[in-house]
A and B are shown apart, each in its own frame.
Chain A
Amino acid sequence: MDEEIFVCRCEEVTLREIRDAIRSGHTTLSELRRLLRVGMGPCQGRGCREIILREIAKQTRVPIEKLYPAKFRPPSKPVPMGLVKNNGV
């Protein structure tokens, strides 16, 4: 039933894909982001970050408090490239 559950709705990643990846050794959110693109869509992981961290915590038996939620980089919301080009930072 796991395959029907979308955890990352932006990038359409399912609970099964995430569980499989953790099981095969990708036990940090950074790795999962690179591998599956979870949390890399428009909402930047707001919806799925905690669910994924809980899955990692469950499988690795490391409490969620001790896990690192991956690097946060600007922009935290999609910005059209044209705007940045015209205004610069």
Chain B
Amino acid sequence: MKTDVLVIGGGPAGLCAAIEAASFGCKVTLVDESLALGGQLIKQTHKFFGSSDEFAGIRGIEIAKRLNEEVNNRRDRIEVFLNTSAVGYYPDEKLVSCMTAEQKFFTIKPEKLVVATGAFEKIVPFPGNDLPGVYGAGAVQTLMNVYGVVPGKRVLMVGAGNIGLIVSYQLLQAGVELAGIVEFAPKIGGYWVHAAKVRRLGIPIYLRHTVKRALGEKWVEGAIIQAIDEKGDWKGEEKKIECDVICLAVGLSPTCELLWQAGCEMEYVSELSGYVPKRDETMRTTHPDIWVAGDASGIEEASSAMIEGKIAGLSVAYSLGRVEEFFFKERLAEFWEKLNLLRGGETSQKIKIGVEKVLLKKDDRDNCLDIQRYAQARSESQIIQYDEKFLSGVLNNQMVESVLPPEALWKNKKGGLVIVECPQTIPCDPCHTNCPTGAILPFDNINDLPKIDYSKCTGCALCVASCPGLACFVVDLTYHEGEKAILKLPYEMLPRPEVNQEVLCLDREGNAIATGKVIRVQEPKKDRTLVVHVVVPRKLVNQIRAIRVIKNG
């Protein structure tokens, strides 16, 4: 069969590429090997970061639904093949071979091709890694979040990047015990706020540690972990971890077999986590009819994958003569502005370095847009160097001081004032866009740390409900009863706390340091993030950051 545009992969990048190209009138064919569109989005139960103009504050699974709707609205122009793998590219004939459900084999001859094939999980070699019970984090997410099956009773997570941290949190939500998280690097690789979420539920993160071997004969019955020194050699004592699941979240590699087969120029770029194609600012590879988007072009976040998808979709439409040059350039510049903003935080610095290595510049090709002009995002990185506690997701005492409201205003403020524990420059703005009083000030750059005008804060806790990192809290010191205060905190666990219930109050490392009484439970955004009002000892308001419902019996 023939088509204008073939998009391979129906994840965030591929969906956006298909929607964008179709919106300019291109006939698009979209193939995806899963049974449903959405790629990894359908497993993402957490709220996304990024800009509120896009999808910040919305759960991945919800984003998948919205993109699906957009595809469905364009069904006259987008033909979808599910359960279909693109298994080969034949450069001489410009043919893509596809297979549906191992039952049907056919070829597609597209005018233009967008490869949005995503990524696959890396594994680490250790003795026993072939035992049942050793999972990739993607498999654990599929089991839990797609099929509702828990992977085991007690999990050791390997890797504290965003995937390791998010899946750890999801395991806790599913009621699975977590023995801890080991991380090879001297600091967490994922967003700090994701680490803080699991730390305050009592999960240790062992930095500069890794799994040495899996224990067990027929399945995983435990694991040995050990520290490593700067050179990567074993150091100190071995430590035995009780667990029946070892979950590997040690990174992803771009899936780019088809690009190799097509003869695209490829380069190994460690910052982008593997072999990736050289591309220009329109996401076109060195093959004139092939574009790339999303993780296949380098491992990054879904939010940037979506913009890359739009860039590829727009550029494909332009190359087919469906878009006016002026409009194309304007829209391309807009997309790059957004992409650069998303890459403006400290955790994205390496992405920028990686992209720079494979970006084909003006000298290499004609008619390129000068993207540097639009690279207005902050270039100076603010890598925070603090103690080990901080680097594993726990605020140290000195930093706690710096996030507290001014005492004089705070102590008499009915309703309380906000405390935002967000110490890392990441692209995110829902705390501001959800603030009804303007207390959380507008961001010049969405990577900036939140700034607060406490005089405007009413303690309404809408930021508490909307922060994707669960990093906002409200403390009301005006509670009428003696040495108590009200803490309003975000809660996404089961069981749901009831009014008048006694709950355990946990500090930033998950230690139970007091009991509190629930006086109100809200769900302001109707999105399953609760805001729980708890009466707690006043002297502990700066320590308590989570609650645990005491189980009956």
Interface of A toward B, CB cutoff 8 Å:
1, 4-7, 9, 15, 44, 46-47, 50-51, 64-65, 67, 69, 71-77, 79-80, 83-84, 86-87, 89
Contacts and interface: CB of A to CB of B under 8 A. Distances in A.
A9 B105 contact: no
A89 B260 contact: no
Interface stretch (B11-19, B120-128, B287-295, B417-425): B120-128
B253 A50 contact: yes
B145 interface: no
A44 B120 CA distance: 12
Interface stretch (B86-94, B187-195, B451-459, B491-499): B86-94
Interface in B76-126: 85, 87-90, 95, 97, 99, 102-107, 120, 122-123, 125-126
Given A74-B87, A74-B88, A76-B257, A5 B127 contact: yes
A74 B103 CA distance: 18
A75 B269 CA distance: 25
A87 B130 contact: no
In the A-B complex, the 8 residue pairs with the closest CB atoms = A74-B88, A72-B260, A75-B87, A83-B105, A76-B257, A4-B127, A87-B105, A65-B268
B274 A50 contact: yes
Given A74-B97, A83-B102, A6 B260 contact: no
Contacts, number: 78
Given A46-B120, A76-B87, A77-B85, A51 B125 contact: yes
Contact of A76 (B88, B95, B253, B268): B88
B396 to A, nearest CB: 36
29 contacts: A1-B213, A4-B128, A5-B126, A5-B127, A6-B125, A6-B130, A9-B130, A47-B120, A65-B270, A67-B268, A71-B260, A72-B260, A72-B261, A74-B88, A74-B89, A74-B97, A75-B97, A76-B88, A76-B257, A76-B258, A77-B85, A77-B99, A79-B102, A80-B102, A83-B104, A83-B105, A87-B105, A89-B88, A89-B90
A84 B105 contact: yes
B277 to A, nearest CB: 12
Contact of B95 (A7, A65, A75, A89): A89
Contacts of B390: none
B267 interface: yes
B347 interface: no
Interface residues on B, range: 35 or more
Given A6-B129, A79-B87, A83-B104, A65 B267 contact: yes
B275 interface: yes
Interface in B212-265: 213, 253, 255, 257-258, 260-261
Given A50-B122, A77-B99, A89-B95, A5 B129 contact: yes
Given A64-B268, A77-B87, A87-B105, 12 more contacts: A5-B127, A47-B123, A50-B253, A69-B268, A74-B89, A75-B97, A76-B257, A76-B261, A79-B102, A80-B102, A83-B105, A89-B88
Nearest to A45: B257
Nearest to B259: A72
A9 B274 CA distance: 20
Contacts of A84: 105
Contacts of B104: 83, 87
Nearest to A66: B268
A43 B269 CA distance: 22
Given A9-B130, A50-B253, A65-B267, A15 B103 contact: no
